[in-house]
Amino acid sequence: MRRTEPAPVLDSINRNLINMLQGGFPISQSPYQEIANRVGISEDELLWRLEVMKTDGIYSRFGPLYNAEALGGAVTLAALAVPEKEYEQITELVNAHEEVAHNYLRTHHHTPTLFNMWFVISTETREEIDTVIEQIETETGLKVHNMPKQKEYFLELKFTL
């Protein structure tokens, strides 16, 4: 659902912080002090700014981005062609699976597209991906198109300091 409220205003220090912190966070005894030094503010001010931005919903957390596959898990992108009048019903069936992590209705900007429902399935093992797909196919009567990742082009981290 589109949100319409205006974006909170970020001052230049907060912009700087968000740009920088997306690229990494120190793994050291006093990581916030290190960041504060880089930006030229005190550690107290940094912690306060981060607290406020978290409350404002600018970011969700500081933490690790895991490599799911390296942990033994499996993840794939799947697509369905859902008849428009069945969206709601099919959505409920698909989302009832806890292995479904993201589910988006996607439409082409001017012409119809083959697949309109796209979701991520993530499981502990590769075999479970197939099980979930089979279950969804049985429940919905629709063919689930499995589009596993074959290669990832890693993005260069960009700093705009």
Q: Residue 25 or residue 39: which is nearer to other proteins going by CB?
A: 25
CB closer to other proteins out of 113 and 141: 113
- Shortest Å distance, C-beta 44 to other proteins: 9
**DSSP class per residue in 12-23:** HHHHHHHHHHHT
122 DSSP β-pair partners: 75
Q: Give me the residue label for tokens 């001010």.
A: 45
Q: Closest Cα to residue 118, out of 149, 91, 140, 153? A: 91
What's the Cα-to-Cα distance from 10 to each of 5, 25, 36, 52, 56, rounded to whole Å?
Answer: 15, 20, 17, 11, 11
In the complex with other proteins, the residue whose CB is nearer, 40 or 152, is 152
Sorted by sequence, the CB contacts under 8 Å of residue 128 that are 6+ apart come out as: 74, 99
Least distance from C-beta 141 to other proteins, angstroms?
Answer: 18
- Smallest distance, Å, CB 161 to other proteins? 11
Cβ count within 10 A of residue 35: 19
Q: Minimum distance between the CB of residue 124 and other proteins, rounded to whole angstroms?
A: 5
